[in-house]
Structure 1
Amino acid sequence: MDARIFRSAMPSDAKRCFDVETTAYDGDEAATLKTISKRIAEYPEGFLVLEVDKEIAGFINSGCAYDVEMSNEDFKELIGHDSTAPNVVIMSVVVDPAYQGQGLSTALMSEFVERMTNANKEIIHLMCKEHHIPLYEKFGYRYIQPSASAHGGIQWHEMMMNLSKA
């Protein structure tokens, strides 16, 4: 069995996370190294890394807001982010293609949801491509609407999950 470790990202992880991001997202969809570095620096508790055998295999990064406007491009740079806000906005869910097909996205999402629940967050928001909607529905998200965002020249879809302490 592979040794899997979940942890918050550190500044030294930025380059590897950028490399993973650019393998998973096309062109302008991927965050820049500068943006990933900023997300790690400003909200490490919202940047969950999954290591497999001491190699970053995937991650989820996010920010928090009181009022969520999914099409707000500035928020991707954490403009308006407030770590005390109850709403979490996922920016990326990424698994390196070399590690796909091993259930890592499910493991990442489960750990992320648990951490956000324990942090007393109320709602997790995300945008995804149409073909990922069924995947996120399996995780417990519900479809909201097509997004006004045209990030990367693509049609995105907004989804959300209400969190509750069980």
Structure 2
Amino acid sequence: MIEITIRGVRPEDLDRITEIESVCFPATEAAQRESFRERIAAFPEYFLVAEADGILIGFINGCVTNSAVIYDELFHSTSHHIPDGKNLTVFGLDVIPEYRNLGIAAQLMNHFIQLAKDTGRRSVILTCKERLVHYYESFGYVNNGISGSTHGGSQWFDMTLVLG
């Protein structure tokens, strides 16, 4: 079993995070370096990374909002982050291909859900492709149907995990 360390993001992780995102998402959906730089500055407490042997292999990040669903502007501007908001968003859950199917994404998600609980959030919300609906349901998320988000020109599904 591989040993994974999950920790908060650091500014020096920026280049590796950008590289991982470009591997995990199509160019039309992948966040760019500047967007990650802004996220790390605006809400580092909601940006976790996974390391194996000191190498960054994955991450999860999102902002806090009062919206019940993710809308496209959230991805593009940290000005929509509401520090005392009700809901924690998941913008992305990325694990490089060589480390997939080892439970690393699940560890990141479980840490993120616990973080949401520890910081008093009411729910965790995300959008995902249809093929991943079942995966997120395994964490307790409920599928709310097709999202209004058209991020990257794709069809997404709104998912909500109501906490405690």
TM-score under structure 2 length normalisation: 0.95
Are 2:133 and 2:143, in contact at CA under 8 Å, matched by a contact in 1?
yes
TM-score under structure 1 length normalisation: 0.94
| Structure 1: gaps spanning 5 or more residues | none
Q: Percent identity?
A: 31
The match for 1:11 is 11
Aligned letter for 2:73?
D
Separation (CA, whole Å) in 2 of partners of 1:151 and 1:67: 17
Name which of structure 1's ranges 98-107 and 134-143 shifts more when overlaid on structure 2: 98-107
Q: Counterparts of 1:12-161 in structure 2 under 5 Å?
A: 12-71=12-71, 73-76=72-75, 77-161=77-161
Tell me how far 1:68 sits from its aligned partner: 3.8
| Structure 2: gaps spanning 5 or more residues | none
Separation (CA, whole Å) in 2 of partners of 1:69 and 1:119: 19
Aligned letter for 1:34?
E
Separation (CA, whole Å) in 1 of partners of 2:148 and 2:122: 23
Aligned letter for 1:13?
D
Separation (CA, whole Å) in 2 of partners of 1:110 and 1:21: 20
Separation (CA, whole Å) in 2 of partners of 1:83 and 1:98: 35
Separation (CA, whole Å) in 2 of partners of 1:52 and 1:4: 5
Separation (CA, whole Å) in 2 of partners of 1:69 and 1:107: 23
Q: Cα deviations across residues 48-73 of structure 1 (Å, max 9, x unaligned)? A: 111111111111100001234422x2
Tell me how far 1:114 sits from its aligned partner: 1.0
What do you get for the CA RMSD once the two structures are aligned? 1.2
Number of residue pairs the alignment of both structures matches: 163
Secondary structure of the equivalent of 2:81? Answer: coil
Separation (CA, whole Å) in 1 of partners of 2:82 and 2:106: 27
Aligned letter for 2:30?
A
Tell me how far 1:124 sits from its aligned partner: 0.5
